[in-house]
A and B are shown apart, each in its own frame.
Chain A
Amino acid sequence: MSVRRALPFVIVALLAAQIGVFTAARGVAPGGAEVVPGVAPTPAAARALAFGDDQFLYRVMALRLTTAGDWDGRIVPLRDMHYPNIVAWLRAIEALDPVSDLVPALAVHYFAQSQDPAQVAQVVGFLRGHGIHDPDRKWRWLAHAVFLARHRADDLPLALDLARELAALPAANMPVWARQMPAFVLDAMGEREAADLVMGAILATEPDLSPAEAAFMLRYLEEGKQQGGADGGLRP
C-alpha cells in the first residue's frame, strides 16, 4: 500500500488515539494540588507580570482568586483553603490598585463567609489594613471588619479595637452610626455603662446630628438608665 493510500487510515487511527488521550485526561486537573499558589508575588514581581498595565493584572488576578478552587474541575470548600495564602494574595493584588473595591468586596462577601472563626479573623486582619489607608473612601471596609469580628469570628475584644479605630478615622463623610460602633460592641460585651458613655459623648460632640439620630441616641441612653445597665434595649 502506498503512503498516499495509507494516510486516511493513519489519520483515523490518530484521531482515535486522540479520543483515547481525551478520555484518559478527563479526570486529570491541570495545575498542582494547591487551590491558591503558595507564594504571592512580591510588589516587584507583580510589576513585572503587569507589563506596564497594573490595572489589567489587578482585574485578572482578582478574578483568578474569585474562582480559586472552583475552576479546574474541583469544588473546594472555604474551610479547606489555606487562608494565610489567600490573605497574602489579597494584599498582593490590592497593592496593584488600592482605590478599587473589588478585592475588599471579595474578602468580605466571599472569603469571610467561612464558618471557621479563625479563618474569618485572618480576613478581618486584611480588611483592617485596607480600611485605614484611605479613610474617606475605605472606612466602610473597616465597618465590615467590625461586623465580621463580632458576629463571625466571635472575637469581641478584636471587634472593640476595630470599632475604636473606625470611630477615630478622620473621614469627613462617615455616618454617625460608624462612630457609634464602639458603643454597640461594648454593649455586646455587657459593658452597658461604658457604651452609654460613648453614646453620650457622641451626642454631646457631634455637630450635625439628624433629628432621627439624636432621638435614637437619647432613647438609647434613657433605656440604659432605666435598665441600670441590664441586658436588652436598643441595639443594632
Chain B
Amino acid sequence: MGIFLRFPILGLVVLTALRDRLFAALGVLLAVAMGGAVLFGGAALVEQGETAVVLAAGAARLVLAVGLVTFVATQVQRLYDSREIEVLLARPLGRPRLVAGLAGGMAVVAVLPAVAVALALAPFAPSLAGWAAWAVTLAAEVVIVVLFTLAAALVLERAVTATLAGLAFYAAARLMTFILGVVEARSRFAVGGLGGEIMGWVVTAVGAIVPRLDLFAHSGWLVHGITDPAPLLIAGAQLAVAAPLLIAVAALDLSRKRF
C-alpha cells in the first residue's frame, strides 16, 4: 500500500476500479470468454490445445480492450460530473502531474488483469518465449489503449464519445498492416487521379499517427514461438513513444481548460 500513499492519484484510480468491481466483472467475462474458447478449441480435429490457447488469448484481448476502454471513459466523465476533478486540481500539484497520476493509475488498472490473463495461459502455451513476448506486448497494448482513451475522455468529457473514440482507435491501430498495405497498393484505389492521391496522403497520415498495435500480442507466438523479433522491437519502441505522447496530449488539453 506504500506506493499508493506515495502516489495518491494512482491509488485513487486503483481504488475506484476496485470500488466499481472492474476486476470482478473483468474476471467473470474473461472466465466465460476463455472457458468458451477452451470448449470451442476442443472441437478442432487436431491441435486442440493450440486452438484453445489461441482462441482464449484472442478473446481475452478483446474483453480487456473493451472493458478497460469503458472503465476509463466512464471514470473520467464521473470526474467531471461530480466535480471531483476540481478537488484534485485544488491540490498542490500541477495539472501535468495530475494527468501523469491518472495515466499511471489507469496503466496499473490495465496491466493487472493482463498479467492475470497471461499467467492463466502460461501452463498451456507450447512456447515459453512466445508466451513471454505475448504477455509483455499484451500489457503494452492495453496500456496504450487506456492512455488514448484517457486523453480522449479528458478532451471530450463525455463517456459515450470517449468510448467510441477508444474503440475506433483500437480498431484502426489493429488494422494498421491493412491500412498501410492499401497505401502501398495505391494503384488499386477505386478513385484515380488527384482524388486517389489525396486519399493516399490521408491514409498515410493516419498510418503515421496511429500506433502499430497490429505488431502487439500475436497469438501465433503462443503456439509457434517467435519467428521474427522485429515486431517485438518495434512494439517496444512504439510503447516508448506513444505512452508519453498520449500523456502529453492529455496534459496539454487539461492545462488549457478552465474550471
A: residues with CB less than 8 A from B are 44, 47-48, 51-56, 58-60, 62-63, 66-67, 97, 99-102, 105-106, 109-110
Contacts and interface: CB of A to CB of B under 8 A. Distances in A.
A102 B45 contact: yes
Given A51-B174, A52-B214, A62 B44 contact: yes
A54 B43 contact: no
B46 A56 contact: no
A101 B175 contact: no
A66 B178 contact: no
Interface string B219-236: 110111000000000000
26 contacts: A44-B178, A47-B177, A47-B178, A51-B174, A51-B175, A52-B175, A52-B214, A53-B58, A53-B61, A53-B217, A55-B223, A59-B41, A59-B55, A59-B58, A60-B55, A60-B58, A62-B51, A63-B40, A63-B43, A66-B43, A66-B44, A66-B45, A101-B47, A102-B46, A102-B47, A109-B45
Chain A interface SS verdict (over half): helix
B58 A102 contact: no
Contacts of B45: 66, 102, 105-106, 109-110
B193 interface: no
Given A55-B219, A100-B47, 9 more contacts: A47-B181, A53-B219, A59-B44, A59-B55, A60-B58, A62-B51, A67-B43, A100-B223, A102-B47
Contact of B58 (A56, A63, A66): A56
B171 interface: yes
B57 interface: yes
Range for the number of chain B residues in contact with chain A: 20 to 34
A53 B181 contact: no
A42 to B, nearest CB: 11
Contacts of A63: 40, 43-44, 51
Residue among A56, A100, A105 with the most chain B CB within 10 A? A56
A52 B43 contact: no
B179 to A, nearest CB: 9
A6 B31 CA distance: 41
A110 to B, nearest CB: 6
B151 interface: no
B95 interface: no
Nearest to B224: A99
Interface in B33-75: 40-41, 43-47, 50-51, 54-55, 57-58, 61
Contacts of A47: 177-178, 181
Complex A-B, nearest 6 residue pairs according to Cβ-Cβ distance, in ascending order: A52-B214, A56-B58, A55-B220, A51-B174, A48-B178, A105-B46
Question: Residue among B46, B50, B174 with the most chain A CB within 10 A?
Answer: B46
B54 A56 contact: yes
Contacts of B9: none
Given A63-B43, A102-B46, A109-B45, A56 B55 contact: yes
A58 B51 CA distance: 9
